[in-house]
Amino acid sequence: MGFYDWMKEHRLVGIVRGIDRSSIIPAAEALHSGGLRLLEVTMNTPGATDMISDLVKSFNGKLLIGAGTVLNKKIAEEAYAAGAQYFITPNLDEEVIQFALERGIDVMPGVMTPTEVVRAHNAGAKMVKVFPICSLGSNYLKELQGPLAHIPMVAVGEVSVENLGSFFKAGAAGVGVGSSLINKEAIRHGNFEVLTQSAEAFVRTIEGCDIHVSSQV
């Protein structure tokens, strides 16, 4: 199973940005213990490719490891060489989508407008990331779903335990979560149990949501 299948089942991807390589394995272990199954390391994190390689080797089959902030084909090539199992982008770049498809890798491009949603889907992406969702609001996602409900949309950007329900109610296929899930201050102090508790809270809240999304993925 690839990213689309895992996302359909678990509905949550954790976003790692700006932590040290020495912390990545214990952080991932803590998140996995809390129920997280998809983890993305952003490519603008120093040492991202090494972290992706470390994670793929350590969690093969337990966590699906992706590369985030894949802005262009060059970064996609670096992520692929590191072993990334899927790509997530904040932008729409058809070259990145094509690169991923040619290698059998699922990709979730970042989109904002209806035109970008359709362009991404036509380019071969079976799921899109609506970003930045907190600035746009859940009503915006609901309105996109009107004519475009056949394209699964994942809400990303300041999603929290408190507001994620509104995005699922609006039709989100899942959510991507960074700082409200992965507390960098706790990591710096070695308090990895905080990450486990946070993951548990997100998973529990998502399980309680009424989720209705496209069956195309």
Alpha carbon 171 to chain centroid, angstroms:
17
Quote the crossing angle between the two packed helices 94-102 and 114-123, to the nearest 10°.
30
How far apart CA 88 and CA 3 sit, in angstroms, is 10
Rounded distance, CA 197 to CA 41, Å? 20
In the block, residue with structure tokens 């949309």 = 153
Q: Cα–Cα distance between 30 and 23 in angstroms, integer?
A: 11
Catalytic residue from among 29, 129, 184, 193: 129
Q: How far is Cα 165 from Cα 29, in angstroms, rounded to an integer?
A: 26
Q: How far apart, in whole angstroms, are the C-alpha atoms of residue 87 and residue 70?
A: 7
Q: Which of 49, 50, 45, 58 is nearest to 19 (CA)?
A: 45
Which entry of 8, 9, 40, 142 is annotated as an active-site residue? 40
For the question of residue 40 being annotated catalytic, the response is yes
Is 80:65 a contact under the CB 8 Å cutoff?
no
Is 184 in the active site?
A: no
Q: What is the rounded CA–CA span in Å between residue 106 and residue 156? A: 17
| Active site residues per annotation | 40, 129
